Amino acid sequence: KAGVTQTPRYLIKTRGQQVTLSCSPISGHRSVSWYQQTPGQGLQFLFEYFSETQRNKGNFPGRFSGRQFSNSRSEMNVSTLELGDSALYLCASSASGAGEETQYFGPGTRLLVL
Amino acid sequence: SQQGEEDPQALSIQEGENATMNCSYKTSINNLQWYRQNSGRGLVHLILIRSNEREKHSGRLRVTLDTSKKSSSLLITASRAADTASYFCATVNMFSGGYNKLIFGAGTRLAVHP
């Protein structure tokens, strides 16, 4: 099976713009989670989607949003970008989202906000 | 917010030596997982240990869990240069609806020198 794919891999934006990142999970996986990784805050949970429903959300402002489509692909959107949004954004997929199974991570999208 | 601390923050050893990393966490958990990350890329799942388990092995990896002390350790035996990476522990707390929500530690940077 193909692994988790994320597009684009690199992105440069300016403050105030918005950005959409995409994640394609492993075929058959229904749960997709998003994480932000920064040198200062480390790895932080953004949200998780399961069968097109947001099941969990981390402590991020409303500028961060996401959605999941019927084919389990997921997108996350960040509006009104700030310099502090520069980070590696990782998505992970798992089969049933039961919490006791392996999560498979994609290579990440590195976002730089200027 | 991160779950807890990992120590050491950085570890430098020679090939063939053992590497031990420790992780502490703050809340009740269902399981604890260890991940590896090479140079800011995606995370690779290494091992999962459930809250009712005390020790688990996988190849050269040995993980222990002490729920009374809210701590875990990862031992890599006979290390290789290819083990050079950052290692993260992550906890899952399904009691609070955590499901696939991973709460990560700060990570340990391991450098294995030939």
Question: For B8-37, how does the pLDDT look when each residue is reduced to its tens digit (9 = 90+)?
Answer: 999 999 999 999 999 999 988 999 999 999
pLDDT at B40 over 80: no
Question: What DSSP designation does A85 have?
Answer: G
Of B41, B98, B106, the CB nearest to A42: B106
Q: Is A59 exposed, middle or buried (0-12, 13-18, 19+ CB in 10 A)?
A: exposed
Residue with tokens 């020790």: B55
pLDDT at B74 over 50: yes
B48 contacts A103? CB cut-off 8 A:
no
Residue A68 forms contact with B (CB below 8 Å): no
Cα A20 from Cα B64, distance rounded (Å):
40
Residue A17: the pLDDT is 98
Residue B109 in 3-state DSSP? Answer: strand
The residues facing A78 across adjacent strands are: A19, A64
Mutate to test the interface with A, among B99, B103, B104, B109 (most CBs of A within 10 A): B99
B48 contacts A92? CB cut-off 8 A:
no
Amino acid at A3: G
Question: What DSSP designation does B27 have?
Answer: S
Residue A94 forms contact with B (CB below 8 Å): yes
Read off the tokens for B104.
Answer: 């990560």
The CA-atom distances, in angstroms, between B15 and each of A12, B71, B84 are: 39, 27, 10
Of A48, A59, A103, the CB nearest to B45: A103
Q: Kindly give, in sequence order, each residue whose CB lies less than 8 Å from that of residue B53, ignoring residues fewer than 6 positions away.
A: B65
Residue B1: the pLDDT is 45
pLDDT in tens, A16-68: 999 999 999 999 999 999 999 999 999 999 999 999 999 889 999 999 999 99
CB–CB of A43/A110 below 8 Å?
no
Residue A112 forms contact with B (CB below 8 Å): no
Å between A16 CA and nearest CA of chain B: 25
* pLDDT band at A73; cut points 50, 70, 90: very high
Q: What is the mean pLDDT of chain A?
A: 94
Residue with tokens 């993980």: B63
Residue with tokens 């009740």: B28
